[in-house]
Structure 1
Amino acid sequence: MTALRDTHYMRQAIGLGARGLGRVWPNPAVGCVLVRDGRILARGWTQPGGRPHAEAVALAKCDARGATAYVSLEPCAHHGLTPPCAKTLINSGVVRVVTALTDPDPRVAGRGHAMLRAAGLEVVENVEATAARAMNAGFLMRLEQGRPWVTLKLALTLDGRIATATGESRWITGPEARRMVHAMRARHDAVLVGAGTARADDPDLRVRGLGITHQPVRIVAAPRLDIAVHGRLGISAQEVPVWLLHGAGADAGARQRWRDAGAELLECPANPDGLMPDETLQILGQRGITRVFCEGGGHLAASLLRAGLVDELVVFSAGKMIGAEGRAALGPLKLAHLHDAPQFKLDAVRQVGADIVHIWTRGTA
């Protein structure tokens, strides 16, 4: 019975933590539920910017003496801008702490659990660990591999085209699918497109129509910085951050024009094919980005797929046909054999308005 209760409340904590996705980087998105005698006393989740932490938010709402704290990640054990959450839990009078994951951050890495046990609290670990790992995949990826989690979104006709031969692409999918895309943007730290998409579509890349105030960082991979500064990104760069990823050979005048517009420039290693994707993502990881939502175009998407750096694939399929003269979703993958093709495992399929969305994760199909 205790195990069932622990699972029930931990699922709530993980769900609460998800509210912080896209808002708390480089920190993890954590949820906390305080329970005593079968009654929820308070709930909390990590606040925008990463402070205060979920435990502090929940504890500030109630008298937690004698309670159990359900936390979706091991409480921190180090002094930062705030005291360690493990110490705060001890001082609050809770008698039991249930967690989903050990925090791989070297400053924590089991020390929070050890601190709680040393103070005499009962500690239960690894409750709903798989769900918690999936929710905080970006935070964990950055700590464990140095790069953000990458979601690639494609909006296609049934024959796999993203635009007509003339470049017309608005709109392949319907309003319900586009609204879902905006919700996905909001759960990521950054939205990424290639220079070709920036030139062809003049995108804004902000979250619209959901009534939220926070915005992801807008990033363009433009090796030569050959995109117009007077487009929508340049005009709004002082309102919402714009980062430009470029190579060493980018024109000095273009660099200065974009800096004057308010964009931040990040020089990345490049080769004749463009920016080197692994090294570029490592640079984003160093800047604290944990989750990237890539919206193309074909060259950028292909480079990420070739390098094995797409962790999640979200494909919207619309009931339209364009034909062979239309623009393909991906650039060349340079495959010699079918078994070399990137493979993904289907996670979910559902109808969204008149369209279908299918979600895949990296792995063996």
Structure 2
Amino acid sequence: MRRALELAAHGPATGVNPQVGCVLLDATGTVVAEGWHRGSGTPHAEVDALSKVDTAVGLTAVVTLEPCNHTGRTGPCSEALVTAGVERVVYAVSDPGPTSAGGAARLRDAGLDVIAGVLAAEATEFQRAWLLATKLGRPFVTVKWASSLDGRAAAADGSSQWITGTASRQRVHEQRAANDAILVGTGTVFDDDPSLTARGDAGELLAEQPLPIVIGERQIPGTAKLWDHPRGVLETGSRNLEEILTWLFEQGIRRAFVEGGPTLASAFVAAGLVDEYLIYLAPKLLGGDRLAIGDIGVTHVGDARELRITAVEHLGNDILLVARPMTEAGH
């Protein structure tokens, strides 16, 4: 199963489909084939592995996710495993999808031996974003901000470039590329005129670009840099975050990166719609009232939004804190 998870990581992290890996074993436990999913419209991991053997009769399939049981752009993996003559299927995590789930039951009905939950915790953590998005019916939301040690996102005159150093800024570009969409408010577009592209060290465009989404009721200027974005730009014309996220999920967006300033970040936090926080801290003191986060509905310290820090990383002279809510959304 650990090998299957390694294979799964070869697949794209963005897009509608999960990252899935599959290992086929013979009766002696020897690996005879491996496969992984390479993106929407390509063979799923199980089918990819099956295509590499002359016969799969009597084999065991070890898969990171319960084999799907529906026909989308490809056929159901459960049927492919049954037809191929696989004897046993071992998987880590159940598929939470309302249409794709049910593969385990189909396999058992066909007489296959099915074992679930192997390395479930590791596989759930690996696929956390996709699993949570599928369960909630909205994209996995990451909120990012950069601030001084005293929590300021800008100086008294409004200047904010650059609070953090080059290493932090490059990491942000990599994180942009790891998401399907990047969300900003109209205020950020009017005030900062960002390009919101994902760029490399030399300023070149990375292969993966998030779709810019502008949240707010105002139309952005025709001269905004966002109109030159390689993916174009989508204006929501709305501030209803839950409706926007539901619609984005329906459009195939599974990972949303919020990089829109204190107003938008605070709105997501207040609404309880944040699944992951990326907080860049620069060893600077700015003072003043330009806080990285504004009112989130907390009036008493006992009502504070409790977070759990999952990683700490040094980037040059800065620190990146990765955190998540103590209570996962949907639990």
- Normalized against structure 2, the TM-score is what? 0.87
Q: CA deviation at 1:32?
A: 2.0
C-alpha contact 2:21 2:63 (8 A) present in aligned 1:
yes
Amino acid at match of 1:142: A
Say if 2:318 is the partner of 1:355. yes
Give the 5 Å matches for 1:77-156: 77-110=69-102, 112-156=103-147
Say if 2:181 is the partner of 1:217. no
User: Among 215, 240, 245, which residue is 2:236 paired with?
Assistant: 245
1:279 aligned residue: 243
1:34 aligned residue: 24
Q: CA deviation at 1:312?
A: 1.0
Partner of 1:199, secondary structure, is helix
Q: State percent identity of aligned pairs.
A: 44
- Normalized against structure 1, the TM-score is what? 0.80
Amino acid at match of 1:34: L
Gaps of 5+ in 2: none
Quickly say closer, same or farther: Cα 1:87–1:314, change in 2 above 3 A: same
| Distance (Å, rounded) in 2 between the aligned partners of 1:181 and 1:279 | 27
| Distance (Å, rounded) in 2 between the aligned partners of 1:55 and 1:314 | 34
Amino acid at match of 2:117: N
Say if 2:199 is the partner of 1:235. no
Quickly say closer, same or farther: Cα 1:324–1:284, change in 2 above 3 A: same
Give the 5 Å matches for 1:323-334: 323-324=287-288, 327-334=290-297
Q: CA deviation at 1:47?
A: 2.1
Quickly say closer, same or farther: Cα 1:108–1:203, change in 2 above 3 A: same
Q: CA deviation at 1:360?
A: 1.0
Amino acid at match of 1:73: L
| Distance (Å, rounded) in 2 between the aligned partners of 1:328 and 1:16 | 42
C-alpha contact 2:41 2:73 (8 A) present in aligned 1:
no
| Distance (Å, rounded) in 2 between the aligned partners of 1:64 and 1:180 | 45
Quickly say closer, same or farther: Cα 1:12–1:152, change in 2 above 3 A: farther
Partner of 2:236, secondary structure, is strand
C-alpha contact 1:22 1:189 (8 A) present in aligned 2:
no
| Distance (Å, rounded) in 1 between the aligned partners of 2:171 and 2:240 | 30
Partner of 1:43, secondary structure, is strand
Amino acid at match of 1:348: A
| Distance (Å, rounded) in 2 between the aligned partners of 1:61 and 1:166 | 63
- Structure having the higher helix fraction is 1
Give the 5 Å matches for 1:31-70: 31-36=21-26, 37-63=28-54, 65=56, 66-70=58-62
Quickly say closer, same or farther: Cα 1:304–1:93, change in 2 above 3 A: same
Amino acid at match of 1:332: D
| Distance (Å, rounded) in 2 between the aligned partners of 1:107 and 1:44 | 23
Gaps of 5+ in 1: 1-9, 248-274
| Distance (Å, rounded) in 2 between the aligned partners of 1:11 and 1:279 | 38
| Distance (Å, rounded) in 2 between the aligned partners of 1:241 and 1:57 | 34
Say if 2:306 is the partner of 1:343. yes
How many residues align structurally?
A: 323
Q: CA deviation at 1:343?
A: 1.6
Deviations 1:231-275 (A, max 9, x none): 221123xx314221213xxxxxxxxxxxxxxxxxxxxxxxxxxx1
Q: CA deviation at 1:329?
A: 0.6
Partner of 1:163, secondary structure, is coil
Say if 2:39 is the partner of 1:76. no
Q: CA deviation at 1:74?
A: 1.0
Q: CA deviation at 1:64?
A: 5.8
| Distance (Å, rounded) in 1 between the aligned partners of 2:206 and 2:292 | 30
1:6 aligned residue: none
